[in-house]
Structure 1
Amino acid sequence: MKQTLIAVMAVFAWLCLTPATEAATLDEVKEIVDLYYYGDKPTNLRNAKNVTEVVRQLDEYSVYMTPAEYNDYLNQYASTEAPVQVATIAAPHNPGNVSSNMMYGNVGYLKIKSFSAHLQEDVNAHWSRLKAAGAERLILDLRFNGGGYVDSAEQLLGFFPRVKEAYKLQTRMGTQSGKVVPAKNQFPVDTYVLVNRYSASASEIVTVSLKDQSAANVVGETTKGKGSVQSLFELENGGALKLTTGHYTGPKGTPVQHKGVEPNIKMKPGTEHAGMHKRLVTSDLVAQGYQFIKGPTDVPQSKVFNVEFTQKMNFGPAKSFNKMELVKFGSVSIQTAKKASDEKTMTIQPAKPMALGAEYMLIVHPGIAGANGLNVVKGTYTPYTVQARVPARAK
């Protein structure tokens, strides 16, 4: 059996495609499993009467592909330039795989859907644009990211300044260390990485590496626990065996398989994006001495905010008044209409209905001029939660 190493421990058996009996295929599969399978040792491998009985003794990620199924697989995913080994089936290069936007407080948000080809250049382009727009901190979203190419995980880890080693890969042949692909355009040291139960495989390689090296803050819920790698073995009958040949751990040996990666900061599913943004904005305001004022929950979408002062104010023209902002968490300061309803009160109304179930914050900055010549010294911040659903109308 001829083997060729491609990428990291990618094992292929290139064989002459000659007619093979079912018994010969069975023997071939048994030999491959006996030599390369990584996991609980099959208890009845020698007595298995067909390939199906062999595969049933393996983990859920090891599968046999008939010649027709393997041909379909190659037509869909094969590329002469792409690395063969994947931590799960990876998508071809898709410019829409990475997206980003700026959020309030000079916080950048960058989402990666899968670890596909060209990830390093895509991430670099987005992070460069975010920094040009003023981003000083970063929230990286790996939620619902099921994995992809292992070398793309190595590339992403190269953006984190504190990462020195990508991972450990344990196989039947021993333990190997994965190398980081350095990136010149580094992320902030205190980057926040969002994960959930659907973050798997290559996402978990990145996450456990970051945790082991204290290279980022992991936010969300425990990941899926798919820390295995599969290799493809072509068979004489034209089919193929996709076989688990190793398990990934963090650089310090922290296991992932069937355990997942626990976050440093736990948050309820669906709240991670806005919740982490809220946490960052709030910490900044506290550090600047802003005072917290408790706001109501379940406010209507068309809520009108009245900011009242204890003395007469010199608000100036409403169009140029920028000392009060209504921020949507996970986004930016939203457009509002401002109007001085009297000498002590400023009315703020969102230009559009606020999003159902979303969290907002009304920020009043210091520096507002009073009619007596004294300025407001201390800023305030008041969080609000919009009602989750529109109330039913009475009949």
Structure 2
Amino acid sequence: MKQTVLAAATVIIWLCLAPTSLAATLDEIKDIVEMYYYGDQPSNIRQAKTLNEIINQLDEYSVYLTPAEYKDYLNQYASASPTIQVASLTAPINVNNVQSQMLYGDIGYMKIKTFSAHLLEDVNTHWARLKSQGAKKLMLDLRFNGGGYVESAEQLLGFFPKAKDAYNLKTRMGTESAKSIPAKNTFPADTYVLVNRYSASASEIVAVSLKDQNAAVVVGETTKGKGSVQSLFELENGGALKLTTGHYTGPKGTPVQHVGVKPTIYMKPGTEQIGMHKRLVMADLVAKNYKFIKGPTDVPRQKIFNVEFTQAMNFGPADKFNKMELVKFGSVSIRTNKKQANDQTMTIQPASPMQLGGEYMLIVHPGILGANGRHVIQGTYTPYTVQKTTN
């Protein structure tokens, strides 16, 4: 039995091995399980007569790979890192693995699909681009991220200034602690990390580590609860045993396996990005002493907004009037057409129909000059929700 070996060497060994009896394979697997398996220990593994009897006593992530299945696995991932211990079996290369965009309010948004081997370079590139565009805050989206390489999780944690530690790994040999890998191009201290029930493995390592160290705000719903690590053990018959050999916890020992990571701020599934963006924008406006004005819900997609002032105003040319803007939550300030209705009213209308069910906000900034020479000293903000159907 060999626990770590390069793919090419594995194929040669498999071709040279003599046939192995089922009894010998069973004994080999029993020995491995008794020595390395981490979890509730099987009570009658020595009495097992078949492979299924053994595997059925283990957790859902421990599986037996036949010689053919293991050969296919090696062929598929021959170009991947030879390190066997990973947080999930797959970490596919995807040129669009990291995506980013700017949101209204100088907020950067970055989505990571999986913890690939080249995640460090991708995150560096995207965060540098967002900062060059004026990002002062960041939303990091790990929703639907099923995991990947543990080292990539350590690297991502290094972008958080307060995340000095990465995780603890509990195995039959004891508990090992891992540090994050410091990055030069760090995230803001108040970064928000989005997760959901499909965030698993390496995503959960990051989330629980950030929570344990108060290094970021975790937003969304409780994660999947896959905090185990699997190791591949080559068998004498040419197959392999993928076995759970440890459980990850946060740096303070907070468990993940079967319980998941509970968010700091709970949000309903599907609302995390828009909801957090809305929350951040409104908090910033409140800090600037803008006044909240309640707006209607279920407005038409081509709604015309009429903003009336209590006195005559010097708006100037309507097409150059920049003290009013319509913001789409989860996005940016959208393009609008403006028209002065009279000396006290300015009309603003989206240049294209708003999104069905979308959430928007009309912001009127201070500084508008009145006909009497005085300026508007307090801005206002009014949220709107667009109708969900065209009926």
Question: What TM-score does the superposition give when structure 1 sets the normalisation length?
Answer: 0.95
In the alignment, the residues of structure 2 paired with residue 17 and residue 151 of structure 1 have an alpha-carbon distance, to the nearest angstrom, of 33
What secondary structure does 2:307 align onto?
strand
In the alignment, the residues of structure 2 paired with residue 80 and residue 220 of structure 1 have an alpha-carbon distance, to the nearest angstrom, of 32
What runs of 5+ residues in structure 1 fail to find an aligned partner? 7-12
Q: Does 1:44 align with 2:44?
A: yes
Structure 1 residues 22 and 156, CA gap change in structure 2 (3 angstroms)? same
Contact 2:4 2:84 in 1 (8 A): no
Contact 2:25 2:235 in 1 (8 A): yes
In the alignment, the residues of structure 2 paired with residue 346 and residue 325 of structure 1 have an alpha-carbon distance, to the nearest angstrom, of 12
> Who is 2:206 aligned against?
206
Structure 1 residues 331 and 80, CA gap change in structure 2 (3 angstroms)? closer
What secondary structure does 1:203 align onto?
helix
The CA deviation at 1:283 is: 0.6
What secondary structure does 2:333 align onto?
coil
> Who is 1:237 aligned against?
237
Contact 2:366 2:378 in 1 (8 A): yes
Equivalence map 1:163-242=2 (5 Å): 163-242=163-242
In the alignment, the residues of structure 1 paired with residue 204 and residue 254 of structure 2 have an alpha-carbon distance, to the nearest angstrom, of 11
Provide the aligned length of Structure 1 versus Structure 2: 385
In the alignment, the residues of structure 2 paired with residue 63 and residue 22 of structure 1 have an alpha-carbon distance, to the nearest angstrom, of 16
> Who is 1:98 aligned against?
98
The CA deviation at 1:91 is: 2.7
Contact 1:300 1:386 in 2 (8 A): yes
Structure 1 residues 193 and 5, CA gap change in structure 2 (3 angstroms)? farther
In the alignment, the residues of structure 2 paired with residue 241 and residue 171 of structure 1 have an alpha-carbon distance, to the nearest angstrom, of 17
Structure 1 residues 16 and 31, CA gap change in structure 2 (3 angstroms)? farther
What runs of 5+ residues in structure 2 fail to find an aligned partner? 7-12
Task: Map Cα deviations across residues 211-239 of structure 1 (whole Å, 9 max, x no partner).
Answer: 00000000001001111010001111111
Query: What is the identity, as a one-letter code, of the residue corresponding to 1:174?
Result: G
Query: What is the identity, as a one-letter code, of the residue corresponding to 1:324?
Result: M
Query: What is the identity, as a one-letter code, of the residue corresponding to 1:33?
Result: V
Contact 1:15 1:235 in 2 (8 A): no
What secondary structure does 1:71 align onto?
helix
Query: What is the identity, as a one-letter code, of the residue corresponding to 2:223?
Result: T
Contact 1:222 1:262 in 2 (8 A): yes
Structure 1 residues 266 and 81, CA gap change in structure 2 (3 angstroms)? closer
In the alignment, the residues of structure 1 paired with residue 80 and residue 321 of structure 2 have an alpha-carbon distance, to the nearest angstrom, of 59
Task: Map Cα deviations across residues 133-175 of structure 1 (whole Å, 9 max, x no partner).
Answer: 0000000000000111111100100000001110000000000
In the alignment, the residues of structure 1 paired with residue 307 and residue 291 of structure 2 have an alpha-carbon distance, to the nearest angstrom, of 14
> Who is 1:326 aligned against?
326
In the alignment, the residues of structure 2 paired with residue 5 and residue 261 of structure 1 have an alpha-carbon distance, to the nearest angstrom, of 34
Structure 1 residues 345 and 82, CA gap change in structure 2 (3 angstroms)? farther
Contact 2:338 2:347 in 1 (8 A): yes
The CA deviation at 1:85 is: 2.0
Task: Map Cα deviations across residues 222-266 of structure 1 (whole Å, 9 max, x no partner).
Answer: 001111010001111111110000000000000001111101111
Q: Percent identity of the aligned residues?
A: 74
RMSD across aligned positions (CA): 1.6
In the alignment, the residues of structure 2 paired with residue 359 and residue 239 of structure 1 have an alpha-carbon distance, to the nearest angstrom, of 54
Task: Map Cα deviations across residues 300-353 of structure 1 (whole Å, 9 max, x no partner).
Answer: 111111111111111111111110010001110000000011111111110111
The CA deviation at 1:179 is: 2.1
Instruction: Write out the 4+ residue segments of structure 1 that deviate beyond 6 Å after TM superposition.
Output: 13-16
The CA deviation at 1:95 is: 2.0
Contact 1:87 1:228 in 2 (8 A): yes
In the alignment, the residues of structure 2 paired with residue 195 and residue 16 of structure 1 have an alpha-carbon distance, to the nearest angstrom, of 47
In the alignment, the residues of structure 1 paired with residue 153 and residue 278 of structure 2 have an alpha-carbon distance, to the nearest angstrom, of 28
Query: What is the identity, as a one-letter code, of the residue corresponding to 2:349?
Result: Q
Contact 1:326 1:334 in 2 (8 A): yes
In the alignment, the residues of structure 2 paired with residue 376 and residue 283 of structure 1 have an alpha-carbon distance, to the nearest angstrom, of 21
